[in-house]
Amino acid sequence: MVFKIFQKLTKPTKTDNPNETKTPPNPLPTSKPHPKNPAPPAAATSFESLGLMEDILRAVKAEGYTAPTPIQEKSIPPVLAGKDLLGCAQTGTGKTAAFALPILHRLTTQPSRGRAVRALVLAPTRELALQIADSFKTYGKNLPLKSAVVFGGVGIEPQISTLKRGVDILVATPGRLLDLMDRGAVSFQGLSILVLDEADRMLDMGFIHDIKRILKVLPQNRQNLLFSATIPKEVQGLIDSILRQPIKVQVAPVSSTSEQVEQRVYLVGRADKRQLLLHILESENVTRALVFTRTKHNANKLEKFLNDSGIEAAAIHGNKSQGARQRALEGFRSGKVKILVASDLAARGIDIDAISHVINFEMPNEPETYVHRIGRTGRAEASGIALSFCDLEEQKYLAHVEKITRKRIPVVTDHPFTAGANAPIPPKPPRGAFHSSRKPHHRNARNSERSPRPANQGSSRPSTRR
């Protein structure tokens, strides 16, 4: 009934552009409200009209938001009504609040069942889990609900102690949750709501078996919510097995990119990418940039190169300790660190305001990953810039991105490294090559990136350039 009334109220806005968000997408509590949050159009839905309780509305208002984003507008009523839901929306559209707000409302209005967990949210990475937990605390600060977050990479005993004291809402990564389950530290007897967030990435990361183990111990009679930026065909079977007659909400086409992000691609030789990055950082108004590499090793090397070049940078990836990752994020959020170099796994869940540039130092080999990457800029009503460095081998990845997004990305032809754009990729030395009688001249010669290149191969810097 609530959903039918909602449909009647919002019928005039049915043709709204799904790529246009009317409000910021619910940042962390440490983030400042959008400085210019205009009043919504007369036909737009307000948070008050969605049926949320006053204590939640006061918390939302305190964060500076006056109107829901499209994913929130379409998701909150059916979740309040107890329906299963499949939400598909690109990153930065406010998915967290789309399930956090109605979950807080429902748990507050339902009787508590002792100290057992009542709502479980599964997330693929530590960063995303922390941000979801922060959102629950922010929006539920006026409510008598307890929430907690558990993830690997830190001591498990403090998490066990927290669970023993009782929590209503538990946000967890699958691996650590299984550890806690094996120790008998968590009970799901009172569970009524399950959320799978960033489900596509969770399955891509190999959590399918962990999720199945967790599902086996959960009560069958529960509400299920699944949110994801993309819905790959390979995981549709799992989705069908979890959700029961779900309400489907999609506010943007699968694998679409935001119109607020200006996209450009630089065809460049692999050997020239570092110098191109320095050129862009010097010539463009880059205030805060997220730079992506495909591997943890390359993220470390690029971090060192930037710092050696006098540019404050930090790297974040799965091999970093939780403390190091948090320090890198805080430095980036505060502005002390200008460049954050990240692998795709670690960057999942980064929700930081005012990222001016996303730079694909290495093109992703999955087109959906490209969408996730560039979605870190151009959030809310702000604009952003996404730059991609594409060497000869990566041009096939560029073609896949353009095919899935149905957009041609403009190619920059006037940068100083165009001459090496089609330089062949240097072959990797055979394994054991340096164990021959010829010893390397330098201890770092085994590093293929530092080995000398043939004259004029891949070099494109004009002699007139400084």
* pLDDT single digits (tens) 415-449: 999 988 887 776 665 555 444 434 444 433 333 33
**Burial code of 291-320, b = ≥16 C-beta within 10 A, e = fewer?**
bbbbebebbbbbbebbeeeebebbbbbeeb
Beta-carbon count within 10 A of 381 CB: 15
Q: Dihedrals φ, ψ of 141, to 5°?
A: -65, -20
How far, in Å, CA of 144 to CA of 140, rounded? 8
CA 81 to chain centre: 28
Residue 89 is given by DSSP the state -
Tell me the domain boundaries of the chain: 2-33+40-250, 261-435
pLDDT for the residue numbered 346: 59
Give how far Cα 291 sits from Cα of 189, 213, 301, 346, Å.
Answer: 43, 35, 12, 12
| 3 pLDDT above the threshold of 70 | no
Give me the mean pLDDT over the 282-287 stretch.
93
pLDDT in tens, 60-75: 999 888 889 899 999 9
How far, in Å, CA of 253 to CA of 465, rounded? 43
Poorest-pLDDT segment among 99-113, 230-244, 292-306, 391-405: 230-244
pLDDT for the residue numbered 165: 92
| pTM of the predicted protein model | 0.63
Give me the mean pLDDT over the 132-144 stretch.
95
Higher pLDDT, 313 or 21: 313
pLDDT band (50, 70, 90) for residue 452: very low
Average pLDDT of the residues of the chain:
81
Say how many Å lie between the first and final Cα of the chain, rounded: 68
pLDDT band (50, 70, 90) for residue 345: low
Give me the mean pLDDT over the 453-457 stretch.
38
pLDDT in tens, 185-210: 999 999 999 999 988 888 877 898 99
pLDDT cut 90: percent of the chain above it = 52
Give me the mean pLDDT over the 48-68 stretch.
92
How far, in Å, CA of 456 to CA of 251, rounded? 49
Which CATH number among 3.40.50.720, 3.20.20.70, 1.50.10.10, 3.40.50.300 corresponds to the domain 261-435? 3.40.50.300
Give me the mean pLDDT over the 30-53 stretch.
57
3-state class of 226 per DSSP?
Answer: strand
How far, in Å, CA of 420 to CA of 389, rounded? 12
Nearest to 17 by CA among 44, 39, 42: 44
Which CATH number among 3.30.360.10, 3.30.930.10, 3.40.50.300, 3.40.50.10320 corresponds to the domain 2-33+40-250? 3.40.50.300
Contacts by 303-309, CB closer than 8 A, 24 or more apart: 303/341, 305/274, 306/277, 306/339, 306/341, 309/278
Residues 6+ apart with CB under 8 A from 182: none
Q: Contact 410/394 with Cβ under 8 angstroms?
A: no
Give me the mean pLDDT over the 310-319 stretch.
89
pLDDT for the residue numbered 21: 35
pLDDT for the residue numbered 92: 65
Nearest to 27 by CA among 17, 35, 15: 35
* Per-residue tokens: 332: 């980036």
pLDDT cut 70: percent of the chain above it = 78
| 456 pLDDT above the threshold of 60 | no
pLDDT for the residue numbered 4: 46
The sign of the dihedral angle between the CA atoms of 264, 269, 270, 273 is: negative
* Per-residue tokens: 330: 């805080």
Higher pLDDT, 323 or 314: 314
pLDDT in tens, 232-279: 766 687 788 899 999 999 886 656 777 889 999 999 999 999 999 999
| 18 pLDDT above the threshold of 60 | no
Poorest-pLDDT segment among 53-62, 87-96, 173-182, 212-221: 87-96
**CATH topology identical between 2-33+40-250 and 261-435:** yes
